[in-house]
Amino acid sequence: MKKKVGAILVIAALLLSGICFFVISKSNKDIETSQTLVVVSPHPKEFMIPLIQEFESETGIRTTIISSGTSNAIESIENGEDVDALWGGSILSVGPYKDYFYPYVSLNRAIYKEKYKKVDDEFTCFSDVPSILIVNEDIIGDTIIEGYEDLLKPELKGEIAFADPAKSSSSFEHLVNMLYAMGDGNADDGWEYVGKLIDQLDGKLLTSSSEVYTGVANGKYKVGLTFEEAAVTMLKNDKHIRIVYMEEGVVTTPDGIYINKNTDKLTEAERFVDFMTSKNTQVYMASELGRRSVRKDVEPSSLVIADDEIHTISVKKDRVVNSKSLWTDRFSAMYGEKNHE
């Protein structure tokens, strides 16, 4: 950003060695947060570091990032913990909790692509996030993987990384994706496939989205169900992985930035939203981090394939939001039944 990409990357590298100074785990209760903007986020740390560094440099607002899965992040806000904003989590996953967030419409929304303008005021779209499959090229062998159906091949049993949809926003997105894709547009008809996929997991259900993409990248699993930018990050880290856009159809859902309605740092939180949706930030995010921008004045990322090369499918947003608990509960029940929990 500001044509200082090289400098930012150097800073990012330095920060990686001292990441504990501003990125903490959710379980760390000792850090002093009263004088900082506290942002909880499921984003990969490598993604957050350069953006937060530039935000602090430009605004002078000291920021503490709490690294946490989406469901735990929302739980912390529900419990009244010291959190000012949630950065990340799809609007479908966070949708059922809109009453916990402050309605703020950034001026940047005027420059959004049309489909991202039409969201509730409590939600600000940050980036567009396709669901994808990540494949480890070193250990996949001759197995061809082009979509969901290929995950049912016998040689992949126990070799698939998937997180609990009740705990991971990206896994819930995949649950929605497979219900509609494998149900031919009717989510109710996709549950037969979900049952078969659960059998293929062979009792291995992960607890966070990061376990999926790191597990595949490090060779623990042959294939995983994750989100595009996580796989791009692994590629940038020289991991031998491949990105697969499911041939049955891909759901692309924007993730968001959400301000806790009980924050006592509303001005700072609004500036955070404005910064992260500004042109400079979105240009850097697309060109260097592999995320798809929600702005119409930002060029598509060269790190990912063009939108028109993906077979995208649509979902019924209101139904998904209203069915989140029902669907995650049903998945948990099916998993428990098959694994005798």
Q: What are the φ/ψ torsions at residue 143 (nearest 5 degrees)?
A: -70, 125
| Dist. CA 104–CA 257, nearest whole Å | 10
Over the stretch 27-43, which tens digit does the pLDDT of each residue have?
A: 444 444 457 999 999 88
Give the per-residue pLDDT at 34. 56
Q: What are the φ/ψ torsions at residue 255 (nearest 5 degrees)?
A: -95, 170
Q: What are the φ/ψ torsions at residue 277 (nearest 5 degrees)?
A: -105, 5
Count of H-run helices and E-run strands, the chain: 12, 10
CA dihedral 165, 327, 70, 237 (to 10 degrees): 30
Give the per-residue pLDDT at 9. 41
The answer to whether domain 5-128+254-305 and domain 129-251+309-338 are alike in fold is yes
Is the pTM higher than 0.75? yes
Most confident of 117-131, 177-191, 285-299: 177-191
Q: Which residues pair with 67 in a beta bridge?
A: 25, 41
Give the per-residue pLDDT at 124. 95
**Distances from the Cα of 132 to the Cα of 23, 85, 146, 213, angstroms:** 27, 27, 10, 11
| Dist. CA 213–CA 227, nearest whole Å | 9
**Beta strand segments in 96-157, E:** 124-136
Pick from 92, 99, 64: nearest CA to 78? 99
For residue 53, what are its two tokens?
Answer: 């560094």
In the structure, what pLDDT confidence band is assigned to residue 272 with cuts at 50, 70 and 90? very high
Q: Which CATH superfamily is domain 129-251+309-338 in?
A: Periplasmic binding protein-like II (3.40.190.10)
Half-sphere exposure of 140 (CA within 13 A, CB side): 23
Tell me the average pLDDT across 103-120. Answer: 92
For residue 336, what are its two tokens?
Answer: 């428990």
Give one word for 257, left, alpha or beta, with left for phi > 0 and alpha for psi -120 to 50: beta
| Mean pLDDT value across the chain | 89
Residue type, 150: D
Domain 5-128+254-305 has CATH 3.10.450.50: no
Q: Where are the domains of the chain?
A: 5-128+254-305, 129-251+309-338
For residue 210, what are its two tokens?
Answer: 């990061």
Dihedral over Cα of 65, 298, 89, 178: its sign: negative
| Dist. CA 78–CA 80, nearest whole Å | 6
Give the per-residue pLDDT at 236. 86
Residue with tokens 């509303």: 266
Alpha helices in the chain (DSSP H): 5-17, 45-59, 70-78, 91-94, 114-117, 169-182, 191-201, 209-217, 228-236, 266-276, 279-289, 317-338
**Distances from the Cα of 218 to the Cα of 168, 210, 240, 305, 317, angstroms:** 20, 12, 9, 24, 35
Looking at the chain, the whole-number percentage of residues with pLDDT higher than 70 is: 90
In the structure, what pLDDT confidence band is assigned to residue 44 with cuts at 50, 70 and 90? confident
For residue 318, what are its two tokens?
Answer: 């209101």
For residue 338, what are its two tokens?
Answer: 């098959």
Over the stretch 278-294, which tens digit does the pLDDT of each residue have?
A: 999 999 999 998 899 99
Pick from 253, 248, 92: nearest CA to 183? 248
Secondary structure letter of residue 333 according to DSSP: H
Among 13-17, 259-263, 326-330, the least confident range: 13-17
* CB 28, CB 245: distance < 8 Å: no
Tell me the average pLDDT across 120-133. Answer: 93
- Residue 252 parent element (H or E): strand 252-259
Instruction: Report how far Cα 28 is from the mean position of its chain's Cα atoms.
Output: 22
Over the stretch 215-244, which tens digit does the pLDDT of each residue have?
A: 999 999 999 999 998 899 899 889 999 999
